[in-house]
Amino acid sequence: MPSARDRLATLVEATAIFGALSDDARAAVVDALEVRDVRRGSTIIHQGARADGLYIVDRGRLRVELVEDDGSRTVLGEVGRGEVAGEMALITDGPRSADVVAIRDSRLAFLPLA
């Protein structure tokens, strides 16, 4: 059975956003990751909030939802295993553009900004 670190390393290696990194840089990413278990229905990213990092889905599924001024929600998409959520606000240095909600119990790897 692989160790938790080996599992995270495999996840990072398979995630497209990290594909161009050197082996040393990917190892640094793995070392910085925080594993977070979230329950179905939990909001992990709040629209309008300041970016503090990004999430990689290890298992489970997330839904990206735009919250309209009247409180209604528009589903923009879903995020599955090996995919990333929350990277756009880091790239643009702007607020989070949508809510991200766990639609299944999920295990996420969080890469903090600092």
Q: Does residue 107 contact residue 59 with C-beta atoms inside 8 Å?
A: yes
Q: What mean pLDDT, rounded, does the chain reach?
A: 94
Q: Which of 17-26, 39-48, 93-102 has the lowest mean pLDDT?
A: 17-26
Q: Which of 13-17, 32-36, 84-88 has the lowest mean pLDDT?
A: 13-17
